[in-house]
Structure 1
Amino acid sequence: MPRARKGNALRKGGQRRGGGARSSTQADSGSSEDEAASEARSTTSDCPSLLSTTAEDGLGGEAVDEQSQQESLEEKLRDCVDCLTDKSAKTRQGALESLRLALTSRLLPDFLLERSLTLADALEKCLKKGKGEEQALAAAVLGLLCVQLGPGPKGEELFHSLQPLLMSVLTDSTASPAARLHPSFVFQQCASALGLGCYVAATDVQDLVSCLACLEGVFSWSYGTSTAAVVPASLHGLLCAALQAWALLLTICPSTHISHILDRQLPRLPQLLSSDSVNLRIAAGEAIALLFELARDLEEDFVYEDIEALCGALRTLATDSNKYRAKNDRRRQRSIFRAVLHFVEGGECEEETIRFGLEVLCIDSWARHRIYTAFKDVLGSGMHYHLQNNDLLRDIFGLGPVLVLDAAALKACKISRFEKHLYNAAAFKARTKARSRARDKRADVL
C-alpha cells in the first residue's frame, strides 16, 4: 500500500466531521514526564545514561550550542548501541532504556539510518534471548525506530525483519497461562510495536491483513468465555493493547476488507464492555465507535440490528456510579462512553483541540483520535516535540511543512517561570472563590 494513499486516507477520515456536540481544549502542558522515564532504574553498568542529555533545554536564557549538544548525544548513543550486545542483561536493559528516552525526545534520522541494520540485529537478539523487561524495552524501541525512520525503505526493511518475531510472540499469548513463555507486559509492548510498525512502514496490503488477523486473534481469545469478566486479570493489558493496535490498523484498512470485519467483529465486541478492566472497557467502546464511523463511511444509512441492546450497555457505562470503582476510573469511563453513546445514536464526533507551540491540531473523528492516542502512548511527553518537527506525524495529521521560527519568535511564545507562577496563583484564587460560593452553608445555619 503506497504511503501517499495512506496519508490521503487519513486526512480524509480526519476531516469528515467538523462540528461536535462538545469542544474541549487541551493545553500544551508538557508537564508530566513519561512514567517509565521517571522510574528509570539506576544501573551500575558501563552504558552511559542519557537522562540529562535528552532533557529539553530552555528556548531562551542559557544559550547552549545545539551542534555540540547533538554531537554529545550521538556519541552517547553510539555507546548505547554497542552496549546492546553486552553479555550483561542489566547493561543491555540500561542501553535500551537510554535509547527509548532519546528517541522520544529527539529526532535522529541520520544517526539511525547509518545503524538501522545493527539496531535491527540487536533488537532481534534482545527479543529472542532476553527476558521480561529487556524484551518489553526492545519492542518499545522498535516502535520508536519505525516512527523515526518513517515509511521509507529503511523503515520498511526494519519492520519486515522483525514482523515475524513479533507475531510469533503474540501467537504464544493464546496459550494457557502456565504455558506462556513471556510476561504479560512483554505481549503488550509487542502488540503495540506490531500495530505501529505496520501502520507506519507496511506497503503491502497482505502485510496489513496478516497483522490485523494476528491482533484480532489475540483479543478474540476472550470471546470463547461466557463473559469477558472471567478473563484473567493478567491478560487484560494484553487484550487492551491488541485491541488498540487492531483499531489503529483499521484506519488504513481498504474498504473491501472493512465490510467483512464489521460483520465479524461488531456483534462480538460488546462482550468486552463487561470486562473488569476499565481500560479494556474503554478500548472496546472506542473500537465500537470507530467501527460505526467506518460503516457509515461505506453506507451512509448504516443500521445496526442490535442497536437497542448496544445503546443500553453504553448508557449503563456512561452513567456508572458504582462505588467499588475508583473515582478517576468512573469519571474517565463516563466521559468517554457519553461521547461513544452520542456518536452511535447518530450524533457527531466530539471535537478536541490539541495546542502545541504556535499550532493547533483538531481531533474531529474517531479515526484521528485513535491515531493520535497511539502515537502519544509511544512518544509520551515527546509528543508535542514530534508534532512540531517530525515530518511523518505532520503528514499524517495534515499539518504541512515544519514551521521555521527565529529565536525571537520562540522566545516570545515562551512563558517565563515567574509569569507562569502568577497565572497559576490567580487561577487558584479564582477557583477557590468559585468553590466557596457553591459550598454547603448548613454549618452556618446550625
Structure 2
Amino acid sequence: MGKRNSQRKNAAMLDSDDDNSSVSSSSTMRSDFMSVSGTEEVQVEKDSLLDQALDDLYEKRGSTREKALSSIIEAFNSNLQHQFVEKKFATLLHQCLSSVKRGSSNEIALASHAIGLLALTVGCGDSAREILEESVTPFSQALKSGFEPSKLTSLLECLAIITFVGGNGPEETERSMQIMWQLVHPKLGSNVVAVKPSAAVITAMVSAWSFLLTTLEGGTLDPKHWQQSISYFSGLLDKDDRSVRIAAGEALALIFEMGSLEKFSAEAKGSKDGSQGGYAHVQGLKGKILNQVKSLSMEAGGKGSAKKDLNSQRNLFKDILEFLEDNYCPETSLKIGGDSLKTSTWSQLIQLNFLKHFLGGGFVKHMQENEFLHEVFEFTPKRKHLPGTEHHISGSEKRMYKSPNSVINKARTQLLNKQRMLSEGRNVGHYAVNAGDE
C-alpha cells in the first residue's frame, strides 16, 4: 500500500512539473479523440435507433409497431437518413405497407406518413417510382375502408407526396387525383352506402388535390371534370368550416391562375351543338365565385368554428380577390435559417404550404439539406449544416439512450470502455517514462 501511494505522489509531482506545452499537447489529443469518438457515438445511436425501430415493425403487437413508426417519423424529420435508406429502403417500404394493409387506423396514419417521408428523402428516381407503384393500390383500398379522419387525412397527404415525387407524367398524377376525388364523390352501387366525410377529410382532400394540380397543365384535364370540380369548390365556399373554405379558395385561385376556367368557357362558347347553356353556366359560376370571394374577404366573424382563422381567411380571400380583379399574385418570403424562400405564384404558394404542413417540425431541416426540395423551389441555402456540429437528441432517443438494456447503451458502454483503456494506456506510458527518469 505504501509503495502504491508513493508512486501516486511521485506521478502527481512529475505530472505537475511538466511544461505547459506537453500538457496542452496531451489535452489536445484527448479533445480530438473525444470529438471524433463523440461523432461516431451519435452515429451509432442514430443507426441503432432506426434498426431497432425497423425490427419492431415485425412485432405482432400493434402498439409496438406504432411506437416504432413514431420513432422512424421523428428520425426522418430531424435528419435526412440517406445512409439508412441506402441499406434498408426495400425493407422499410414493405414493412410500412404491411402496416397500411393490416394495422389500426392510428398505425395506418403513421405508416403512410413514414412512406411520405421516405419518398421525400430518396427524391426523384427509381426508388420514388417504386414507392408510388407499390403504394397506390394499398392506399386506395385503405381509403375505402373505415372513416377515421386522422387515417384518411394522412393517406391523402401521403398519396399526394409520393405522386409529387415519384409520378412520371400526367396520367399517374391524374390517377391519384381521381382516387382522392372518389373519397368525397364515391361511385355508389347496390352495396355502397354514402358516408358524409368530415370537414378535416374534405380539407385534406382539396389540399392534396390542389397540390397535385400544381404539376399539371391546365388543358390536360377533361372539361367535364373541370366543371364538376369548380362547382364543387364554389359550393365549399359556403360551408361553415373555415379550413374547408380556405382550402377551396386556394384551389379556385390555382384554377384561375392556370387559365382553366377561361379555356373551359371558350370551349363552351365555341361548341357546335347549338346550345349556349354550357357557356352561360360557366359565366354565371365565375360571377358567383367573385361575389363569394368578396364576401369572405370582408367577413365580420361568427361564421366558422375557430376565430383564430378569421384573419387568415380574410387575408387569403383579399389576395384571391386582388388576383381575380387585377391579375396580381401574392408574393411571399419565408425565412429559413439565414436565407429567404420566396414565392410569386399560387402554384408555388400551395406547394410550399402543403410541404410545410406535411413536414411539420422537420420543414426547416429538409429545406436546408434536401436537394429534391431545393430543385422544386429553386432554392439554394447559403448556410448548410456542417458534419460534426451539435446533435440534438430527441425525447425518444434520450429514453432509449438511458435504458441500460438498449442496444445503444451497450454500444455506448463498449465505446466508453475503449476510450478509458486508451486513455489509461497513454497515462501509464507517460508516467512510466517519467518514473524511469526519476
TM over 0.5: yes
Asked if 1:290 is matched to 2:254, the reply is: yes
For 2:362 and 2:356, locate their aligned partners in 1 and report how far apart those are by CA, in whole Å: 8
CA–CA separation in structure 2 for the residues paired with 1:280 and 1:220: 16
Code of the aligned partner of 2:258? L
Question: 2:64 matched to which residue of 1?
Answer: 91
SS of 1:310's partner is helix
TM-aligned CA distance change 1:404 to 1:193, over 3 Å? closer
- SS of the equivalent of 2:340 reads strand
In structure 1, the residue matched to 2:160 is 195
The aligned counterpart of 1:369 is: 349
1:187-226 alignment, distance < 5 Å: 187-220=152-185
Letter in 1 for 2:199: H
Which structure: larger Rg? 2
Q: 1:348 to 1:107 in 2, by over 3 A?
A: same
| Separation in structure 1 between the aligned mates of residue 382 and residue 97 of structure 2, nearest angstrom | 33
Match of 2:283 among 295, 305, 310: 305
Cα separation, 1, equivalents of 2:67 and 2:150: 18
Deviation at 1:386, TM superposition (A): 1.0
Report matched runs for 1:342-361 at 5 Å: 342-361=322-341
Q: Deviations over 1:257-291 (max 9, x none)?
A: 14635344223320111122211111000000000
Deviations 1:338-397 (A, max 9, x none): 111221223311111011122111121110111111111111121111111100100000
Q: Give the helix-richer structure, 1 or 2.
A: 2
The CA RMSD measured in Å over matched residues stands at 2.9
SS of equivalent to 1:267? helix
Question: Do residues 242 (structure 1) and 205 (structure 2) align?
Answer: yes
Task: Specify which structure has the bigger relative contact order, considering alpha-carbon pairs within 8 angstroms and separated by 6 or more residues.
Answer: 1
The corresponding residue for 2:139 is 166
Shift of 1:405: 7.2
In 2, the alpha carbon distance for the partners of 1:283 and 1:378 equals 15
Q: Percent identity?
A: 24
SS at match of 2:240: coil
Shift of 1:403: 4.7
Cα distance in 2 for partners of 1:405, 1:250 equals 33
Given that 2:105 and 2:148 are in contact with CA atoms closer than 8 Å, whether structure 1 keeps it comes out as yes
Is the CA contact (8 Å cut-off) linking 1:243 and 1:284 kept in structure 2?
yes
Tell me which residue corresponds to 2:365: 385
Equivalent positions of 1:325-344 (< 5 A) are: 325=304, 326-344=306-324
Unaligned 5+ residue runs, structure 2?
1-33, 188-194, 267-278, 391-438
Correspondence for 1:52:
none
Partners in 1 of 2:200 and 2:78 — Cα distance? Answer: 26
Change (3 A) 1:324 1:253: closer
Give the letter aligned to residue 147 of structure 1: L
**Alignment check: 8 A CA contact 2:219 2:260 kept:** no
Match of 2:150 among 170, 175, 185: 185
Q: Is the contact between residue 123 and residue 142 of structure 1 (CA under 8 Å) also seen in structure 2?
A: yes
Determine the C-alpha separation between the residues in 2 that align with 1:77 and 1:265. Answer: 42
Deviation for aligned residue 1:335: 1.5
Contact 1:239 1:280 in 2 (8 A): yes
Q: How many residues are aligned here?
A: 331
Residues 142-191 of structure 1 show CA distances to partners (whole Å, capped at 9, x for unaligned) of 11111111112112112211111112222x1xxxxxxx524121111111
User: Paired residue for 1:395?
Assistant: 375
Q: Which amino acid aligns with 1:194?
A: L
Identify unmatched segments of 5+ residues in structure 1: 1-61, 173-179, 223-230, 412-446
Cα distance in 2 for partners of 1:132, 1:97 equals 14
Contact map agreement 2:339 2:382 (CA 8 A) in 1: no
In 2, are the aligned partners of 1:269 and 1:284 still within 8 Å (CA)? yes
Structure 1 equivalent of residue 29 of structure 2: none
Cα offset, 1:329, TM superposition: 2.2
Secondary structure of the 2:318 match is helix
Give the structure-1-normalised TM-score: 0.68
- Higher mean Cα deviation, 255-264 or 86-95? 255-264
**1:272 equivalenced with 2:245 (yes/no):** no
Q: Structure 1's 144 and 347: CA in aligned 2 closer, same or farther, altered over 3 A?
A: same
